[in-house]
Amino acid sequence: MAEFLFADDSTAVLQGWQAPGALDLNAAFLRAGGWALPRTEAFPDATRLKERLQELAASVRSNGKLGLDLRGLRGGTEGVLAAAREAGVAFLLHTADLSPAMQSLLGVNVPRMVAVENEDEANLARAQGASAFLAPADKVQSLNHHGLPILAIAENSAQARQGMEAGAFGFQPRSPALLDETSIPEFTSRLMYGLGEANEMLLRKGPGTMPRLRIRNLDLSYPIQQGGMGVGVSWEGLAGAVAREGCVGLVSAIGTGYHPSARTARRFGRPDGTMSLNPPAALDTILRAALERAEGHGAVGVNILCAIEGYEATVRAAVASGAQMIVSGAGLPLALPDYVGDADVALVPIVSSARALSVICKQWQRKYNRLPDAVVLEGPESGGHQGFSPEQCVDPAFTVENLLPSVLAERDKWGDFPVLVAGGVWDRADILRFMALGASGVQMGTRFIGTFECDAHSNFKETILKAEADDIVLMKSPVGMPARGVRTALQSRMKQAPRPRFAA
């Protein structure tokens, strides 16, 4: 079935990155004779996907192949497969470990390339009828005995050569720069010609290097901090994974009594009382697991709301358990330095205005001879516990862009600690835009929820991934502040009828 994929002797070049901006790299790869790899959304619109694939199919030239990357697909598999067949997709790419919703892939009459990283995954993929492997270059030689064609993943020219010399029929360059370093000048020339001069320069330049971020004694590879999300959304899985990539991963200290490790009193299935809701022992378990997963990279911190009961005890527990940073909002953390003491922990308050930052700096300097190690400016587009009125949340005067200059000016009165912005930061373009306005970095929360590493339940992730712009509404957070969230059927029912009474 897959013989036509490997019928010629030319080196296959599989698209290994997505283009910034409006650059249509999928079509450019196809026009150059490469293998294009558009991605599916988590829950794609099958009709729109089919139209896009059919449009790309018209760009196929010579040895070019149109594939479809299914690794992010979470639902609607049948519709996606139908769209792929109707558009004449040449191959599908997926992982060896298929979810129940993806099992129908095994019977599809389209060649399947399976991304594998070790022998166990290769054995599983071969047993499931894989047509080819996509594997790291250093694994190609050890996987040759399976008798399947292998495409090598290459991060640099040395890896590209290693994979090809080990018998790979092609490779997947993971950056634009690699195209200039490989022995495929004809393909590179065709790709650049098809892109045009402006896009060629964009592609050769690549995405650029983001500056590092320093907070106190922490040297971070990227200027990104993952927001703390409770209950159970950012625990050891997400915070540890984000830190491992060189960023700040934040554990949420709220509701740790729901963690599987918690041994607390419960009533009606819920933690009973403050110490049961936020037990120090559970926070200790989560923090230590996150630090272990981080493997010494990035930083693992804790997000603690000022508004919770037991705030002081939670801060002290976080410090004792090895937190490298305390991030605190939903109120002004005026006594935070007192609770941390002499511990070498970065202190990062969350503010919504220059005035709030001024109050914190004055109090901290006067009472504790200390200033923030960084500050998060949280705008009204953030997820929760905002220091704005409902009216201010929709007033353009209170956007992060408009608030940032005054906060930077206030910061400059006290020192040069970093200012991170939060709320509405979604992609690289947003990060660069805010940094161009003077921010040192960003805090992102919702963007991480759809990841495999996120600790949230799959139903929660699915709700977020399926949400449209109109589904995001203002509501009241658990501590009484305005918040943004996804409108659900439960909330609609609660608005239309009296709320149910809770049993005592």
Q: Do 192 and 231 reside in the same domain of the chain?
A: no
> Do 198 and 219 lie in a common domain?
no
Domain boundary among 175, 205, 235: 205
Structure confidence at residue 190 (pLDDT): 82
Q: Cβ contacts of residue 185 below 8 Å, gap of 6+?
A: none
Query: Which of 305, 261, 299 has the alpha carbon at shortest distance from 283?
Result: 261
Considering the domain boundaries, does residue 69 fall inside one?
A: yes
Q: 0.85 exceeded by the pTM?
A: no
Domain end call among 205, 229, 258: 205
User: Does residue 194 share a domain with residue 178?
Assistant: yes
Distances in whole angstroms, Cα of residue 351 to Cα of each of 48, 331, 374: 41, 8, 11
pLDDT tens for each residue of 393-443: 565 666 888 899 999 999 999 999 999 999 888 888 789 889 989 999 999
User: pLDDT value at position 502?
Assistant: 47
The residues, any chain, with a CB within 8 Å of residue 234's CB and separated by 6 or more, are 226, 227, 228, 249, 250, 251, 252, 303, 445, 448, 454, 455
Flag whether pLDDT at 25 surpasses 60: yes
Is residue 42, in this structure, part of any structural domain at all? yes
Q: Please list the residues that pair with 476 across neighbouring strands.
A: 482
Pair of tokens at residue 367: 């009472």
Quick: pLDDT tens for 150-200. 999 998 888 988 999 999 999 998 877 676 655 577 788 888 777 776 565
In a domain, 413, yes or no: yes
**pLDDT tens digits for 239-282?**
999 999 999 999 999 888 888 888 878 787 777 776 778 888 89
Closest CA to 413 of 368, 357, 466: 357
Q: Is 174 exposed, middle or buried (0-12, 13-18, 19+ CB in 10 A)?
A: middle
Quote the number of domains for the chain: 2
Same-domain check for residues 161 and 237: no
Same structural domain, 273 and 308: yes
Q: Please check whether residue 169 is in contact with residue 150, taking contact to mean a CB–CB distance below 8 angstroms.
A: yes
* Any domain includes 503: no
Indicate whether 249 and 363 sit together in one domain: yes
- Give yes or no: residues 324 and 450 share one domain: yes
Residue 497 predicted with pLDDT over 80: no
* Cβ contacts of 389 within 8 Å, gap of 6 or more: 482
Parent domain of 432: 213-496
The domain that holds 265 is classified in CATH as 3.20.20.70
Q: Indicate whether 187 and 223 sit together in one domain.
A: no
